């Protein structure tokens, strides 16, 4: 999810025009905030997964899905997962307001690799070489999308 929400904050960061105004000194501090945000986002995903699998598979073709989803919010792991996720977004907004997007975005996509690593450990997911390749290729793509930056002026 972190990857998706980036786009929203990208809009905010453009509006404030903060990207690219900060020197290298702050980067070392921001690295810590990036790591905190990544750790929170990855733990959030893992907790959500941990919580939701206790309900079994949810299928959208029955009314039961609504009740299952409501029950999901009563699961402690899901609740903590949501908290982690919200906290990671707050840290991420701080990150985006302080560093260039071309630096922040690829950092965000690293979470895909970390998530895959821990899903293997915690949920015994089988990750085929094909899937690993896909994950790394996506990271490369995100890197390319972000490194090239906006083509036009941010303010419309």
Partner 1 sequence: MYPLFIILGVVMLMVCGQILFKEGVKKLGLKEITVLSVTRNFFLVISRPFIFSGFVIFGFSFLMWLVALSRFDLSYAVPLLSTSYIFVLIFSKLVYKEKVGKMRWLGVAIICAGVWLITLS
Which residues make up the interface to partner 1 (CB under 8 A)?
1, 3-5, 7-8, 11-12, 15-16, 45-46, 48-49, 52-53, 55-58, 60, 65, 68-69, 72, 78, 90, 93-94, 97, 109, 111-112, 115-116, 119-120, 123, 125, 127-128, 130-131, 133-148, 150-152, 156
Residue 24 or 59 with smaller CB distance to partner 1: 59
Evaluate whether 26 touches 98 at the Cβ level (below 8 Å): yes
Evaluate whether 37 touches 95 at the Cβ level (below 8 Å): yes
At closest approach, how far in Å is the CB of 44 from partner 1?
11
Q: What is the DSSP letter of 147?
A: H
- The first and second tokens of residue 7, run together, are 């786009």
Residue 36 or 68 with smaller CB distance to partner 1: 68
Rounded to an integer, what distance in angstroms lies between the CA atom of residue 51 and that of residue 75? 6
Residue 32 or 62 with smaller CB distance to partner 1: 62
Nearest to 140 by CA among 101, 120, 113: 113
């Amino acid at each position: 999810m972190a990857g998706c929400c980036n786009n929203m904050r990208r809009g905010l960061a453009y509006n404030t025009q903060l990207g690219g105004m900060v020197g290298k000194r702050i980067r070392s501090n921001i690295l810590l905030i990036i790591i905190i945000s990544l750790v929170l986002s990855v733990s959030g995903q893992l907790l959500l997964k941990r919580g939701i699998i206790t309900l079994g598979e949810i299928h959208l073709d029955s009314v039961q899905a609504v009740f299952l989803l409501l029950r999901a919010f009563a699961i402690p792991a899901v609740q903590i997962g949501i908290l982690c996720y919200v906290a990671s977004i707050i840290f991420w907004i701080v990150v985006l307001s302080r560093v260039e997007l071309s630096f922040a975005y690829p950092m965000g996509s690293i979470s895909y690799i970390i998530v895959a690593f821990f899903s293997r450990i915690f949920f015994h997911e089988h990750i085929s070489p094909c899937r690993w390749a896909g994950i790394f290729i996506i990271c490369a793509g995100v890197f390319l999308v972000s490194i090239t930056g906006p083509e036009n002026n941010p303010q419309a």
